[in-house]
Amino acid sequence: MQRVSEAQVSIDEKVHGSINAGLVVFLGIGEMDVDDDLDYIVKKITQLRIFSDEMGKMNKSLIDIEGALLIVSQFTLYASTAKGTRPSFIKSAKPDMAIPLYEKFIAKCERLLPVSTGVFGADMKVSLVNDGPVTIWIDSKEKK
């Protein structure tokens, strides 16, 4: 995810979704992901204190600042580059599994905050102004 001051996703040169202050979540769904993983990620992205308070310290959450989410599906996050020069995506979930989880993730987030999205599987152009820059990787399989 990236903390942004603004962001948008376009499909076929038309803006499909946009936000002002908030987070762009590039959501990669792996073949081992389940509903519990969604709950973990939703809690983390909405409650992680990565927005500045009045003193300029990262002390506020997305909920605290009443920010928004732009959620973009991105299977390429599961790229394996161990062999050769062409990435393998075999660890990313197939669409029949990934689409329902992607849709559930969006629904869970919409209960808490304003949400904009891309379109699963579409060729999208994402524009954003990374604020900070702040970019954080969250892996639901590494709950420590």
> Does the annotation count 8 as an active-site position?
no
> Does the annotation count 76 as an active-site position?
yes
Catalytic residue among 47, 76, 89, 135: 76
Catalytic residue among 2, 75, 105, 117: 75
- The C-alpha atoms of residue 121 and residue 114 are separated, in whole angstroms, by 22
> Does the annotation count 105 as an active-site position?
no
Task: Measure Cα distances from 89 to 24, 45, 120 in Å.
Answer: 22, 25, 16
Where are the extended beta strands (E) located within 31-119?
51-52, 58-60, 68-73, 115-117
- The C-alpha atoms of residue 64 and residue 50 are separated, in whole angstroms, by 10
Q: Active-site residues: which are they?
A: 74-76
